[in-house]
Amino acid sequence: MARVVVNLPQQARRGEIMEIRTLAGHDMETGFRRTQLGQLIARDIITRFACTYNGVEVFRAELHPAMAANPLITFTTVATESGTLEFRWTGDNGFSATHSAQISVV
Amino acid sequence: MTSRRQFLVLACGALATGAEAQLPPNIAALRQAALQEAVRKVVGDVPVQRGKVKLELPPLIENGNSVPLSVAVDSPMTAADHVKAIHVFAEKNPQPNVISAQLGPRAGRARIATRARIADTGTVVAIAQMSDGSFWSDSVSVVVTLSACLEDGLI
């Protein structure tokens, strides 16, 4: 399980726009580099990221090799109701990481 | 008076642009064609208009391996009028796509930020797809002193 960091407010006012910052620990090997012997190093990246808010998808992204290592993704969502935000990263070689965070909306 | 640091930055920038000038023209054209192909895959035959989108990244990049960039789109983000997707492309990368983000009215504000790898001095393009099916774009020219992605002169 890869290390992931998600930064979002624990509490928000209803209707407030929250900024969510996510970071997943991953080398994001591009598949364009070679070893000293000239062998191409196989691509190994995170290809998808999705965020669901109480089961409803609010943000999704497809990542390509041009994302920097340890991909940082910052996006926003409207605080509609108290509940759980689930974050999921999936990628090459069966990579998968999840994180969930509680939010209380007042 | 130019400090040593400023001189080094300028010299590296000049080297980078010099290297670009020496590229065989067909490879530069190949990169351009790859970018257009990647954009066409996203937008189809719809014309892309300039405006509404604001792509921000540093004009001088010292390390292309991790370049902070943000894309903001001017949109009310209501159910009737919102940004459906934001795509970012880097012209000189071996594969132009960087990120494709799908968002909707629940985003509240059409802004994403991330960190990209940029292979060489060139343009970076952001395209936003609106809920009415139109496409808007912004592009920024950047100078890269230490390039990313490639270690075998693939450019």
Are residues B115 and A62, on separate chains, in Cβ contact within 8 Å? no
ipTM: 0.90
Of the candidates B66, B99, B151, the beta carbon closest to that of A63 is on B99
Task: Check whether A90 has a pLDDT greater than 90.
Answer: yes
Residue of B nearest to A67 (CA): B116
Min Cα–Cα distance to chain B from A66, Å: 5
Chain A residues in contact with B150 by the CB 8 A cut-off are: 32-33
Residue of A nearest to B83 (CA): A59
Per-residue model confidence as pLDDT tens digits over B59-96: 899 888 999 999 999 999 999 999 999 999 999 888 99
* Bigger pLDDT: B120 vs A90: A90
Which residues make Cβ contacts (< 8 Å) with residue B59, sequence separation at least 6? B140, B141, B142, B143
- Would you state the pLDDT for residue A68? 92
Domain ranges of chain A: 4-105
Min Cα–Cα distance to chain A from B144, Å: 14
Amino acid residing at A94: G
Structural contact between residues B81 and B132, judged by C-beta atoms closer than 8 angstroms: yes
Name the pLDDT band for B27 (thresholds 50, 70, 90): confident
Identify residues of A whose CB sits under 8 angstroms from chain B CBs: 17, 30, 32-34, 53, 56, 58-69, 71-78, 80
Q: What is the DSSP string of chain A?
A: ---EEEE--SEE-TTPEEEEEEEE----B-S--B-TTSPBPPPB-EEEEEEEETTEEEEEEEE-TTBPSS-EEEEEEE--SSEEEEEEEEEGGG-EEEEEEEEEE-
Chain B residues in contact with A73 by the CB 8 A cut-off are: 99, 101, 112-114
Q: What's the CATH fold of domain A4-105?
A: Immunoglobulin-like (2.60.40)
Name the pLDDT band for A35 (thresholds 50, 70, 90): confident
- Counted across chains A and B, CB pairs separated by less than 8 A come out at 102
Per-residue model confidence as pLDDT tens digits over B105-143: 999 999 999 999 998 888 999 999 999 999 999 999 999
Amino acid residing at B104: G
Taken in order of first residue, the domains within chain B and their CATH numbers are 4-144 (2.60.40.2470)
Structural contact between residues A65 and A30, judged by C-beta atoms closer than 8 angstroms: yes
- At residue B15, the 3 state secondary structure works out as helix
Residue B12 in tokens? 């590296």
Name the pLDDT band for B153 (thresholds 50, 70, 90): very low
- Would you state the pLDDT for residue A81? 92
Chain A residues in contact with B101 by the CB 8 A cut-off are: 59-62, 73, 75
Residue B17's φ and ψ, nearest 5 degrees, are -70, -35
